[in-house]
């Protein structure tokens, strides 16, 4: 059990909302907050890079860009122009399991936001052209250059997918995709993807902020109610994977220092062991009293250590990343990481460590809930991964109830040395 020194944390984090479903299957959540004159419309589609056809890696994300390229009712850059003309803005992101679109702006833009989201949900595909596709293809390829190719150590996340997942697995390719696959995408691919996945029964809409919920219900029904539902294709759930495809990969990069990355398969999001491994990640790498920070950074052996648990629908990834100090052998650093994991697998964390983890996690939850858009997105995330938007209490509870022994057990079950894949980045010109 996580204990807290802070009485303030006896307050349970809450997000008040009302939820309903339109006859066409669209999930609708209304979350009122009058503290500031702003609204957020957050639309979550349950489609991501895991749903891409072979030879079309990066397509879900490319499609996300095309969602802003106009419809016959609002052509060209109208989506952005109309929104920004009144002080609003928008953005979107794509991950393995989902694509999320959000509109943020002054409260008087709410009806416009809903109309624009419904318009593109109903009609985006009909207005698609090769010219639009080519333009956004270029933008996405620039994004790949900026985020991966020209970013120090940025190629690791691209190597990770094939090193860890078997060919054909939904996670065996990166979200950004390859240049070749991006170049191969056609307008037919775009319209097919839209018709298949961008349907109301595959989406959840959260309306948040300073608005009248009765009025919002009228607008949601008016604009989204007439969009037809369509049968979704069956998805084949991949078999669980625990062994990596490659034990070790070495890549070169224009960097000054090597980087050690160790990755393991780990539990799916919200499944048993996910919260425990998230706490293990915090125990090892979050803060200056974390175990790996103490044994590597504080000891002068490394300049940086990061640990993460990244849960997804069909499984997760646990990762440890270390950049050693100049002259410190990577093998020495790796031995220390493996030593800490071996110790944790047999010896549960102390009560003081559990207290630290509890407080850090609780304040992180509160701070995460501050921005309106974060709250809206979190409700959609709960819906997508747990089937209910009302997931905050259960989410908090799974961390509160995690025991020291369970943390140890999760390490011994998932983070065995022989199940790791090692991705080593070496500076160009250095000996691997």
Partner 1 sequence: MIRSLPILLLSLLACTPKPAPVVAPPVEAPPPPDPLDTRPSVGPAVPFLPPTPQVGALANGVPVWVLSDSTLPVFNLQLNVPGGSQLDAPGREGTAALTMEVMRRGAGKLDGAAFAAEVERRGLSIDGGAGPDGSYLNVVGPSDQLGPALDLLADMVIRPRFDGEEIKKSRELLDAGLQQGLSEPAYVAERTAASLYWGPTHPYGRPPDGTVKGLKASTPVEVRKWHASVWKAGAAGASFTVAGDVTREAVLEQLGARFGAWASAKPIVVPVPAAPVHDKDPIYLVDAPGSAQTGFYVAFPGLRDGVPEEAPTQLGTIVLGGTFTSRLNGLLREKRGYTYGVRAALYSQRQAGTLTVRTRIRADVTALALVDLLGELDSIRSGITPAELAKAQGAARQDVVEALQTRSGAGGTYADYLAAGRPPTALADELAAVNAVGVEAVTPAMGAWAKERAVFVLVGDRTVIEPQLREKGFTNLKLVTPP
Residue 359 CB, shortest distance to partner 1, in Å, is 3
In the complex with partner 1, the residue whose CB is nearer, 168 or 364, is: 364
Please, what is the minimum distance in Å from the beta carbon of residue 290 to partner 1? 8
Shortest Å distance, C-beta 409 to partner 1: 24
From residue 339 to residue 378, the character string flagging contacts with partner 1 as x (rule: CB under 8 A) and all else as - is -------------x--xx--xx-xx--xx-xxxx------
Q: Which of 3, 6, 12 is nearest to 355 (CA)?
A: 3
> By CB under 8 A, is residue 109 in contact with partner 1?
yes
Contact between 116 and 79 (Cβ < 8 Å): yes
Note whether 89 binds partner 1 by CB under 8 A.
Answer: yes
Q: Is 331 in the site for partner 1 (CB under 8 A)?
A: no
Assign 422 to helix, strand or coil.
Answer: strand
Cα separation, 27 vs 113, whole angstroms: 17
381 interacts with partner 1 by CB under 8 A: no
Q: Is residue 222 a contact point for partner 1 (CB under 8 A)?
A: yes
The token pair that represents 74 in the structure block: 């609002």
Ramachandran quadrant class, 209 (left: phi over 0; alpha: psi -120 to 50; beta: rest): left
Half-sphere exposure of 141 (CA within 13 A, CB side): 14
Q: Under DSSP, is residue 270 helix (H, G, I), strand (E, B) or coil?
A: coil
Helix 110-123 vs helix 78-85: crossing angle, to nearest 10: 170
Helix (H, G, I), strand (E, B) or coil at 289: coil
Contacts to partner 1 from residues 269-288, by CB under 8 A: 287-288
> CB 389: neighbour CB atoms within 10 A?
23
Given the rule CB under 8 A, which of 129-137, 158-166, 241-249, 338-346 is the region that contacts partner 1? 129-137
State which residue, 215 or 248, has the beta carbon closest to partner 1: 215
CB 209 within 8 A of CB 16: no
Window 131-150: residues binding partner 1 (CB under 8 A)? 134-139, 142-143, 145-147, 149-150
Does 400 participate in binding partner 1 (rule CB under 8 A)?
no
Contacts to partner 1 from residues 173-202, by CB under 8 A:
none
Q: Which of 30, 104, 156, 396 binds partner 1 (CB under 8 A)?
A: 104
């Amino acid at each position: 059990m996580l204990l807290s020194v802070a009485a303030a944390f006896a307050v349970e984090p809450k997000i008040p909302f009302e939820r309903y479903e339109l006859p066409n299957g669209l999930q609708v959540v209304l979350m009122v907050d009058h503290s500031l004159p702003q609204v957020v419309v957050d639309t979550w589609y349950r489609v991501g890079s895991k749903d891409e056809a072979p030879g079309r890696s990066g397509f879900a994300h490319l499609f996300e860009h095309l969602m802003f390229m106009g419809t016959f009712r609002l052509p060209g850059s109208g989506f952005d122009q109309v929104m920004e003309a009144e002080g609003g803005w928008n953005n979107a992101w794509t991950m393995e399991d989902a694509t999320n679109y959000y509109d943020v702006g002054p409260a008087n833009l709410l009806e416009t936001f809903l109309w624009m989201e419904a318009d593109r949900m109903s009609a985006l595909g009909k207005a698609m052209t090769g010219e639009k596709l080519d333009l956004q293809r270029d933008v996405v390829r620039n994004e790949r250059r900026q985020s991966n190719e020209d970013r120090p150590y940025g190629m690791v996340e691209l190597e990770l997918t094939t090193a860890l997942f078997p060919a054909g697995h939904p996670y065996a390719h990166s979200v950004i995709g390859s240049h070749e696959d991006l170049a191969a995408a056609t307008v037919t691919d775009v319209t097919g993807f839209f018709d298949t996945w961008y349907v109301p029964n595959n989406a959840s809409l959260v309306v948040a902020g300073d608005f009248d919920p009765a009025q919002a219900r009228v607008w949601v029904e008016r604009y989204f109610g007439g969009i037809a539902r369509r049968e979704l294709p069956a998805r084949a759930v991949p078999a669980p994977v625990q062994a990596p495809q490659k034990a070790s990969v070495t890549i070169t990069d224009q960097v000054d220092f090597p980087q050690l990355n160790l990755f393991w398969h780990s539990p799916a999001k919200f499944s048993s062991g996910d919260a425990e491994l998230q706490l293990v990640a915090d125990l090892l790498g979050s803060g200056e009293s974390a175990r790996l920070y103490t044994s590597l950074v504080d000891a002068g052996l490394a300049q940086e250590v990061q640990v993460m648990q990244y849960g997804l629908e069909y499984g997760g990834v646990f990762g440890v990343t270390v950049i050693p100090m100049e002259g410190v052998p990577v093998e020495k650093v790796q031995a220390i990481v493996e030593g800490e994991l071996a110790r944790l697998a047999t010896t549960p964390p102390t009560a003081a460590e559990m207290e630290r983890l509890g407080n850090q996690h609780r304040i992180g939850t509160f701070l995460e809930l501050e921005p309106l858009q974060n709250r809206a997105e979190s409700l959609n995330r709960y819906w997508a991964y747990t089937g209910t938007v009302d997931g905050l209490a259960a989410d908090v509870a799974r961390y509160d109830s995690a025991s020291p022994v369970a943390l140890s057990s999760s390490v011994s079950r998932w983070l065995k040395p022989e199940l790791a894949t090692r991705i080593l980045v070496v500076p160009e010109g250095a000996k691997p």
